[in-house]
Amino acid sequence: MPINPADSPILGTLYGSDAMRAVFGERAYFQRMLDVEAALARAQGRLGIIPADAAAGITRAARVENLSTEELASSARNVGYPVVGLVAGLSRAAGEAGHWTHWGATTQDIMDSATALQVRDGLALIRIGLQDMVRTLTAQANKHRHTVMAGRTHLQQALPTTLGLKCAIWAQPLIQHVHRLDQLRPRVELVSFAGAAGTLASLGNQGIAVMEGLAEELGLGVPAAPWHVCRDGLAETVGLLGLVCGSLAKLATDVILLAQTEVGEVAEPYVTGRGSSSTMPQKRNPIASEYILAAARTVHALMPVMFGAMAADHERATGPWQSELLALPQAFVLSHGALLHAGAIAEGMAVDAERMRRNLELTHGLIVSEAVMMGLAPHIGRGEAHHVVKHACDTALAQSISLADALEREAAVSGRLDRKSIEQLTEPAHYLGSADAFIDRVLRAATTLP
């Protein structure tokens, strides 16, 4: 049984996705290494470095079903890397052609190129998840652009806002993450082919031609020079996943707070048994949001591992490189799981607009005291308006009356504004500023995604 819950058949349903595990699973990794070996043989066959029929034979044999798990485990335990056993199994399966496998390559060439293929597939899944989130959140932003609710600062009611703007704010960084991902891909989806010490000396003057041919076969980019000790691309990749998870964690935190019994404005979509308690029948816990936060914290904890791996010594790292295998796949699996949880929340979130209105009225108008102050300022000056409205707020709180009633008792107010004008100023829906315009700007930004 897997030690990490994200990889288990039961708990893995909470922490990750089968789609991403299929990309980064061990069997998939070995197949990707075989894909690299086969592509190398084809590239070298075209260049006349190895016989063309040998390249075809190696390609036919490069199937993970031809490898023995027991032999691979024994070899890896003894050698310290999986490629020696993989090459032995591939060579045996290829028959005579097997004499030409792994020609001029070294272990890290195969492993890093396989990793680049996995990262390419993993980023494609992340991109789809981000685009889906942007599409859903912008639709919710448009739908709820007139759903007025309390905006909160320091966990206290501050000024009115709209759920539409809140959704747009959730979407905004996700739009940027798609752009970041697209900008990142050419820097990380690169073939790795360096040979024993980064010179490709075993291939004479054909080293670069082989590297370019291998990249073409795999659909990867070609670096200016080998990147086997330049780990910035992979570190940046996990850094991007950390940013994605951070933005999803903001959404999850808001949903958790809005779902509190005392607030009750937004809740996760509910199906029978979802988020239930083993002892309290009434509970509907924000379970998806909780797992988003768990994933985010873990991905953020994995980022230092990847950044630490950048300190590769000389021409082959003694430890930092090996640590990436512990962090990179888990970062992808957890990030994708968080995206799927967030997508479900965004798509089906339960909105209680009536509760939002009741919560707006909890302070009997105090939430729009700024609106009154700004309305009075042209008549008596901003400083004096702040003083008058502050006094009215204190009166409203002390006597448990509405702000409108307290304002009527202020001579500086009643002498300039009638009751209707005061009520206009104390209506939350009349004090939303540029909320609509901000929503439109985010919607336009979303249309820039290719």
**pLDDT tens string 282-330:** 657 889 999 999 999 999 999 999 999 999 999 988 888 899 999 999 9
247 and 208 within one domain: yes
Asked if residue 393 and residue 351 are part of one domain, the reply reads: no
Q: The domain spanning residue 376 has which CATH number?
A: 1.10.40.30
Is 220 among the domain residues?
Answer: yes
Q: 340, 357, 374: which is the final residue of a domain?
A: 357
Contact 410, 403 (CB under 8 A): no
Residue 110 has pLDDT above 70, yes or no: yes
Residue 322 inside a domain? The answer is yes
Most confident of 221-235, 354-368, 371-385, 397-411: 221-235
Selected residue with higher pLDDT from 372 and 291: 291
Domain contains 338: yes
pLDDT value, residue 308: 95
Please identify, among 334, 357, 380, the residue that sits at the C-terminal boundary of a domain: 357
Most confident by average pLDDT, 217-226, 384-393, 408-417: 217-226
Q: What angle do CA 337, 340, 343 make, to 5 degrees?
A: 150
Residue 276 in this model has a pLDDT that exceeds 60: no
Mean pLDDT of 224-233: 96
In a domain, 223, yes or no: yes
Do 371 and 284 fall into the same domain? Answer: no
pLDDT tens-place string over residues 44-95: 999 999 999 999 999 999 999 999 999 999 999 999 999 999 999 999 999 9
pLDDT (0 to 100) of residue 41: 98
Q: Per-residue pLDDT averaged across 237-251, rounded?
A: 98
386 and 340 together in one domain: no
Provide the residue type at 298 as one letter: T
| SS3 category, 196 | coil
Domain range holding 157?
Answer: 5-357
Identify the pLDDT of residue 371.
86
| End-of-domain residue from the set 357, 392, 410 | 357
Cβ proximity of 247 and 177 under 8 Å: yes
- DSSP β-bridge partners for residue 156: 153
In a domain, 20, yes or no: yes
pLDDT at 450: 84
Residue 297 in any domain: the answer is yes
On whether residue 448 sits in a domain, the answer given is: no
The amino acid present at 15, given as its one-letter code, is Y
Q: Is 55 helix (H, G, I), strand (E, B) or coil?
A: helix
Rounded to whole angstroms, the Cα distance separating 302 from 322 reads 14
Residues 108, 147 share a domain: yes
Return the pLDDT at 86: 96
pLDDT band per the 50, 70, 90 thresholds, residue 423:
confident
**pLDDT on residue 273:** 56
Task: Note the pLDDT tens digit of each residue in 318-331.
Answer: 888 899 999 999 99
Q: Does residue 142 share a domain with residue 274?
A: yes
Mean pLDDT of the residues in the chain: 93
Question: Could you tell me the CATH number of the domain that includes residue 217?
Answer: 1.20.200.10
Burial class (CB in 10 A: 0-12, 13-18, 19+), 257: middle
Res 272: pLDDT: 63
Q: Which residues participate in catalysis according to the annotation?
A: 154, 277
Q: Are 266 and 405 in a shared domain?
A: no
- According to DSSP, the β-strands at 156-162 and 266-267 are unpaired
Distance of alpha carbon 349 from alpha carbon 432, whole angstroms: 23
Helices and strands of the chain, counted as H and E runs: 19, 4
Q: Are residues 254 and 401 in the same domain?
A: no
My answer on whether 349 and 232 are in the same domain is yes
- Residue 376 in this model has a pLDDT that exceeds 60: yes
* pLDDT at position 10: 87
Q: Is 434 inside a domain boundary?
A: no
Q: Identify whether residues 378 and 271 lie together within a single domain.
A: no
Least confident of 136-140, 181-185, 330-334, 390-394: 390-394
- The answer to whether residue 277 scores a pLDDT higher than 60 is no
Tally the C-alpha atoms within 13 A of residue 99's C-alpha that lie toward its C-beta: 8
Give pLDDT, residue 1.
64
Report the interhelical angle of 69-79 vs 83-94 (nearest 10°): 140
Residues 174 and 260 reside in one and the same domain = yes
The confidence band for 421, taking pLDDT boundaries of 50, 70 and 90, is: confident
Q: What is the pLDDT of residue 281?
A: 55
- Do 165 and 235 lie in one domain? The reply is yes
Within 105-231, where are the H helices? Answer: 107-143, 163-188, 207-218
pTM for the full predicted model: 0.93
Q: What confidence tier does 264 reach under pLDDT thresholds 50, 70, 90?
A: very high
Q: How many domains does the chain have?
A: 2
In this prediction, residue 436 carries a pLDDT of 97
